[in-house]
Amino acid sequence: MGSTSVRQLVGYGVGDLGINLYFIAGMTYLMYFYTDVYGLSAAAAGGVLLVARIVDAVTDPVMGMVAERTNARSGRMRPYILYGALPLAVISVLTFTAVDGDATFRLWWAYSTYILFGLFYTVVGIPYAALTASLTRDSDERTRLTTVRMAGAFSGGFLVSVGTMPLVGLFDDRATGFFWVMTGYAVLATLFLFITWRETHEVPVPAAEQPVAIRDSLRAVFANPPLASVIVLFCCGMLSFTVRQGSTVYYFQYCVQRPELIGPFFSVTLLVMLCGLLGVPALAAKLGKARAIIAGGLLTIAGCVGLWFTPFEAIAWIFLWGAVINLGATPIAVLGWAMIPDTVEYAQLRHGVRADGAIFSFASFFQKVAKSIGGAGVGFVLALGGYVANQAQSPAAITAILSLMTLVPIGIVLVMIAAAAVHRLDRSAHQAILRQIDEQIDQRIDARRQPV
């Protein structure tokens, strides 16, 4: 199978750089924006994140099945990346806009804008994710694509995590700062998504391989054991990341009481992930994708244990354990997405349909459910701990924040390790599936050539 060109690799990867300008902004700073800038209570902000992200998740399967049935000249997935980019940019800015009004109106604005953000994010994000399976059929090439994609994602995450608060601080007030910083992110993200649309080219799929009915798409998803195990470990990785990312700002603001270290901490930990990213393909080639995820999970657990026992004044150790945690999270960040395309061919062989849109959209659905639980869970745990914005926190609130950074991720990662241990669709099994699919296609072609 042919190697993916560098131009297409980079063109695909910068798309996730753009998408993560939105994703990490919402994951890391939206809760903080709602509670400490916009003035919502922690419980109310948690409710917004829970409801909006569940609505967002529910629309994923619909978008996936729409995309896989699209038959545009430029492909099945790419048109949505092009035409959805601008509406997504506009609504992302409105989501971080602190409007005036009474408490009811401001809460309504938060629900409305974040729900709409999730809908447009789905329109762009689901086709972008499914594009991996449409660019190549080779499992190793998909790992390369996903690695470059994650490099873009981490780069976008680095820019947002490190740059947001210093950039916001350049303005007279935080509300104005968040508005203009998000405007800048939106402009960049739109440009990067346009590059992805321009530089990628989908591999044509024969019409006979495409799903013909919704029930076929659903069967490809729910009668797909390898996909089930991937979704579990995939969701656990997202849930752990969401909880840690969403609580980091609070950890430095109120536990360490050094908010100026938020940017440097994200700088160090994300740079470690970027460096670790380079070794993931080799680690996966040596251990296999599932075992590489297990190794990373064990490293994350070790880092969380270390951070739990580290005093708040021990800054160097806090940075060290944070780096260990993020290094351990790197394999699942890359390989979760790389494992999903292989389950497309598993379903194609078993059920006779190529349901890449449905498979990616349902995987994204469960991932977003995990993200909604994680984001809302941070707010609810803060509320249970007695958190009060912009005030010195009680011991219970401090313990709640520390638990979100350490104990909660440990429990989640243990479940992820168990899911990875039962996954059986490795490289050799996937290659065997591809050979059988090719034989079936050749048999159909030969049968059509036979004289009647």
> pLDDT tens-digit profile of 228-242?
999 998 889 989 988
Dihedral (C-alpha) 244, 152, 148, 266: value to the nearest 10 degrees? Answer: -40
- What are the boundaries of each domain within the chain? 7-199+211-439
**pLDDT on residue 211:** 45
Diameter of the chain measured on Cα atoms: 84
Architecture per CATH, 7-199+211-439: Up-down Bundle (1.20)
Average pLDDT of the residues of the chain:
87
Nearest one of 54, 22, 63 to 361, comparing CA atoms: 63
Residue 309: predicted pLDDT: 97
pLDDT of residue 1: 47
Whether 157 has a pLDDT exceeding 90, the answer reads no
The most confident of the ranges 89-98, 207-216, 263-272, 423-432 is 89-98
Q: Is the pTM of this model over 0.75?
A: no
Instruction: Kindly tell me if the per-residue pLDDT of 266 is higher than 70.
Output: yes
Range of lowest pLDDT (46-60, 259-273, 383-397): 46-60
pLDDT of residue 140: 74
Torsion of CA 395, 400, 402, 406, to 10 degrees: 150
Percent of the chain with pLDDT over 70: 95
Q: State residue 2's pLDDT score.
A: 52
CA 118 distance to own-chain centroid? 13
pLDDT at 449: 64
- Of residues 194 and 234, the one with the higher pLDDT is 194
Residue 297 to residue 418: CA distance in whole angstroms:
10
Q: Is the pLDDT of residue 396 over 80?
A: yes
Alpha carbon distance 304, 386 (integer Å): 23
Looking at residue 205, its pLDDT comes to 57
**Mean pLDDT calculated for residue range 87-109:** 94
The backbone region for 281, taken as left when phi is positive above 0, alpha when psi lies in -120 to 50, beta otherwise, is: alpha
What is the pLDDT at residue 209? 47
State the pLDDT at residue 208.
46
Other CB atoms within 10 Å distance of the CB of residue 15: 29
| The two structure tokens encoding residue 28 | 């890391």
Say what angle helices 174-199 and 78-95 make with each other, to 10 degrees: 180
- What is the arithmetic mean of pLDDT over 267-295? 89
Per-residue pLDDT band at 255 (split at 50, 70, 90):
very high
Residue 412 has pLDDT above 70, yes or no: yes
Query: How does DSSP assign 365-429, residue by residue?
Result: HHHHHHHHHHHHHHHHHHHHTT--TTSPPPHHHHHHHHHHHTHHHHHHHHHHHHHHHT----HHH
Cβ-based neighbours of 121, under 8 Å, separated by 6 or more: 19, 22, 23, 56, 88
In the predicted structure, residue 212 carries a pLDDT above the cut 70: no
Least confident of 256-270, 352-366, 375-389, 420-434: 352-366
Instruction: Give dist(CA 440, CA 442) in Å, integer.
Output: 5
Average pLDDT over residues 45-64: 84
Does the structure show a pLDDT above 70 at 451? no
pLDDT above 90 as % of the chain: 45
